[in-house]
């Protein structure tokens, strides 16, 4: 990194990030991978972002997203609004602590993207997803987990670690999110809380108690404590890539794109005010350890009130 003063978010994404995100069609079917190295660089002339990507797979999405060139675009470095100034992406992103919510357009892919990038507390792991739209219609999804390096070009050990990480991501990246079907337990941990104005508002201790009720259904009881408190329960049913939430205190649905479940939940229980909903991404990073990366966008009506984000660990019970 140069000596130029940078934003807090820019400091968090210093270095080079390596992953191999999965490519999914609109129905949640895995159709390929995108081999990626990317970095954001700041100099006295300004900030730029580059992405070296190579696609695998077949079909119409491969034809659409194969560009034969490296993405490269300008960025206005800011902790308020990061503006993407083209030529390969145009739009903005808003950082909320370790998480950024971005919306931009790709002329090359001819798609509007909603991208959620979440740096975990270790500072070395980044959970990424881009939901691509034609207008309001989802046309594809990329998602995966990235590893950060600072010396890949010169350190053979780092190069080996990147190769091993990509092999691991290729193994687990296409797997659908299937929660334990015959084991009870809970995901527990402490999540970060940011207000809609991007300010840090503390932390929330979260428990997601999981009780299977069949091979495709479970009861979840979710408890928050700390700087935001609430409790609600619901029955969830999985039908292929689709999940339904059917009361008693939450109604809604979700679509899974591999390990990432994109949800909309309407709260109707005693702790809700009748207009609350959660738009979220719940990402099962590793089906073996069952670490669950959470991003919940809390809304009152159609107005965002908070973002809750972080990761939870599985405990068998």
Instruction: For residue range 64-91, list pLDDT tens digits in order.
Output: 998 888 888 999 988 999 999 999 999 9
- Domain ranges for the chain, please list them: 8-172, 185-316
Report pLDDT for 272.
Answer: 62
Q: Give the pLDDT of residue 274.
A: 66
**Angle at CA 73, nearest 5°, toward 35 and 42?**
100
Asked, colleague to colleague, whether 8-172 and 185-316 share their fold, the answer is yes
Calpha distance 277→267 (Å, rounded):
6
Q: What is the pTM of this model?
A: 0.94
Query: The domain at 8-172 falls in which architecture?
Result: Beta Barrel (2.40)
CA 195 to chain centroid, in Å, comes to 18
Q: Which residue has the higher pLDDT, 11 or 293?
A: 293
Beta bridge partners of 43: 46
Q: Which of 133, 117, 147, 152 is nearest to 281 (CA)?
A: 117
Q: What is the pLDDT of residue 1?
A: 43
CA 171 – CA 174 distance, rounded (Å)? 7
Percentage of the residues of the chain whose pLDDT score is greater than 90: 78
CATH class of the domain at 185-316: mainly beta
Structure-token match 């602590």, residue found = 97
**What pLDDT does 138 receive?**
98
Q: What is the DSSP letter of 97?
A: T
In whole angstroms, give the CA distance from residue 149 to residue 128. 16
pLDDT at 229 over 90: yes
Average pLDDT over residues 182-202: 97
């Amino acid at each position: 990194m140069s000596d130029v003063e940078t934003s807090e978010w820019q400091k968090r994404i210093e270095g080079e990030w390596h992953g191999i995100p999965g490519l999914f069609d609109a129905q949640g079917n895995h159709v390929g991978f995108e081999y990626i190295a990317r970095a954001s660089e700041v100099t006295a002339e300004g900030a730029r972002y580059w992405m070296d990507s190579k696609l695998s797979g077949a079909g119409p999405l491969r034809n659409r997203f194969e560009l034969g060139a490296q993405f490269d675009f300008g960025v206005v470095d800011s902790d308020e609004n990061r503006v993407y100034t083209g030529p390969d992406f145009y739009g903005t992103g808003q950082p909320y602590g370790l998480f950024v919510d971005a919306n931009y357009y790709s002329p090359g892919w001819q798609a509007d993207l909603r991208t959620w990038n979440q740096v975990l507390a270790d500072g070395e792991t980044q959970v990424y997803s881009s939901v691509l739209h034609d207008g309001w219609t989802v046309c594809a999804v990329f998602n995966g987990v990235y590893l950060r390096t600072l010396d890949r070009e010169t350190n053979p050990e780092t190069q080996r670690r990147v190769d091993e990480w990509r092999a691991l991501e290729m193994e687990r990246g296409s797997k659908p999110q299937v929660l334990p079907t015959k084991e009870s337990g809970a995901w527990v941990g402490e999540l970060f809380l940011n207000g809609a104005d991007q300010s840090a508002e503390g932390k929330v201790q979260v428990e997601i108690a999981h009780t299977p009720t069949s091979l495709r259904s479970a009861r979840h009881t979710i408890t928050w404590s700390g700087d935001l408190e609430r409790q609600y329960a619901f029955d969830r049913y999985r039908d292929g890539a689709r999940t339904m939430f059917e009361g008693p205190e939450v109604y809604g649905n979700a679509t899974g794109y591999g390990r990432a479940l994109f949800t909309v939940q309407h709260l109707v229980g005693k702790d809700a005010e009748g207009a609350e909903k959660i738009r979220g991404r719940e990402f099962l990073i590793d089906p073996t350890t069952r670490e669950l990366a959470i991003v919940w966008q809390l809304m009152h009506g159609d107005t965002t009130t908070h973002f809750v984000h972080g990761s939870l660990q599985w405990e068998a019970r």
